[in-house]
Chains A and B, each alone.
Chain A
Amino acid sequence: MSLPVITSIIFDKASYGPGDLITATVNYQQGTSDVTQTLTGTATDTTTGQTGTLVVSFTVSAKDVTDITVSDSGDHAWTKILKDDSKAVFQAVA
């Protein structure tokens, strides 16, 4: 399995005036979970009706759902305006 990774945080401006709208774009990679699956194979002799069974396990790496949140040292109120599998966009008022 792997944890989600935040690859970058990008602001739309270098600095803001009071009251300006701040837009921050967060690029990230979703985490994955290793899910063990079991595959059972069964063979049946149609004459005798006897069966033989083989159980095989395998692992599936599945993408996890990732929650993205933001806070800052100035306690600005951040609003999430977009999120997909690799990017989230937040806005706050400077």
Chain B
Amino acid sequence: MSTYTVTVYARDRVSGKTTSKTASFSVESVSQSQVLLAEALAGSASAHMLGMQMDSRLEVPGYATWCDANLGHSLNVAGLFVDWQTTPATFTERFHDCSDPNGAVPLITWEPWNFGDTAATPSPPSYELGDIASGAYDSYVDGIAGAFAAWGQDVILRWGHEMNSNWYPWGWRQFPSIPAHTAAYVAAWQHIHDRFQAAGAMNAKWFWCPNTIMSGNLLGQWYPGDEYVDVVGLDGYNTQAQSNAWRTPSAVFSASIADIATFTSKPFMIGEVGCAEYAYPTWPTTPSSETKSSFMEEFIDLLASTPDAFGFAWSEWGGKQIETTDDSTQAMREALADDWASS
């Protein structure tokens, strides 16, 4: 919040004498990252946001500092995960956790299960999509919407991500068919979205984020519609370090990006991405020249050439982090400088 002092002058034309009085007003502070998101959502092609998905809220301050010092780019999006037991007060704490260190936009992945549930059990899942859509959890949803509305600043809300997978309870595994699942998923999404709208939580920016195409199931089946979505994107990884199945960024993402482009032109970001350290064509002998560094360079190239793409959130866990080696850190720094500066 910035406070300004206003001075009003009253000047008598005859005598030339002047009197004055002061008062003050305040203008809410908005971080550069919030400005970038607003520009991206408005269609700007020059808003390029760097994000990270983190294991712990405690990591945010360190990564915010580290990005400035080592990547030459601010951490614009800070990603944290919450579940269906997370209270409104904890949501608010997570907003602070993400934005307080340097003004990063919170990217909250809201998962409709209890952390600790396994994907297949309990079966049926703790929270049925049909129950969510029919309003069984409205009091809970309304409470969370209230926390968003009270926060006021934009938050990227990723509800029920990777819904096209079979490893989460809100994925298609629990359903007799994919059409049955997509109908339930879309209905739940739209219902929660509408509750947020009714609560005045327009600052929730709805991020629809499937995994990359799995088993040939095209992504549009799970799409709730442009009127229910602010940002679209994908999760995808190159984790095949111990085989010759090294996957380039294009191999991971391009087909899915092209699929999404067939049904929407909403602003696009990668919700999760990560990469193993090396390709091992003949595991476990010496790695090939394909490394995390080359993946990063190609990834940023791909993103920069993708229409409507404005951001990504790199997954900082499981050995797939940006900073596992000096080379990978340097590669990301150079790629960002070359193709991902914000203007």
Contact = CB atoms under 8 A, between A and B. Distances in A.
Query: Do A and B interact with each other, yes or no?
Result: yes
A94 interface: yes
Contacts of B27: 15-18, 20, 74, 94
A5 B19 contact: yes
A2 B12 CA distance: 9
Contact of A31 (B8, B15, B20): B15
Contacts of B21: 6, 9
Interface in A1-44: 1, 3-6, 9, 11, 14-18, 20, 22, 24, 26, 28, 31, 33
Contact of B4 (A20, A28, A74): A74
A69 interface: yes
Nearest to A15: B26
A44 B63 CA distance: 102
Given A6-B10, A6-B20, A15-B1, A33 B25 contact: no
Interface residues on A, range: 20 to 34
B12 A31 contact: yes
* Residue of A14, A15, A76 ringed by the most chain B CB atoms within 10 A: A15
A68 B8 contact: yes
Contact of B10 (A11, A22, A67, A94): A67
A18 B6 CA distance: 17
A73 interface: yes
Interface residues of B, number: 25
Interface string B7-31: 1111111110101111101111010
B28 A9 contact: no
Binding site secondary structure of chain B: strand
A91 interface: no
Contact of B7 (A4, A31, A33, A72): A72
Contacts of B22: 9
Nearest to A33: B14
Contacts of B139: none
A24 B6 contact: yes
Given A71-B7, A72-B4, A33 B15 contact: yes
A65 interface: yes
A79 B48 CA distance: 35
B15 A9 contact: no
B154 to A, nearest CB: 12
Nearest to B9: A69
Contacts of A74: 2, 4, 27
Nearest to A28: B10
A6 B28 contact: no
A15 B39 CA distance: 23
Given A28-B10, A31-B17, A70-B6, 19 more contacts: A1-B15, A4-B11, A9-B6, A15-B28, A16-B26, A17-B27, A18-B27, A22-B25, A24-B23, A33-B15, A64-B13, A66-B12, A69-B9, A70-B9, A71-B7, A72-B6, A74-B2, A74-B4, A74-B27
Interface of B: 1-2, 4-15, 17, 19-23, 25-28, 30
9 contacts: A4-B10, A9-B8, A9-B21, A18-B30, A33-B15, A64-B13, A65-B14, A67-B9, A69-B11
Interface of A: 1, 3-6, 9, 11, 14-18, 20, 22, 24, 26, 28, 31, 33, 64-74, 76, 94
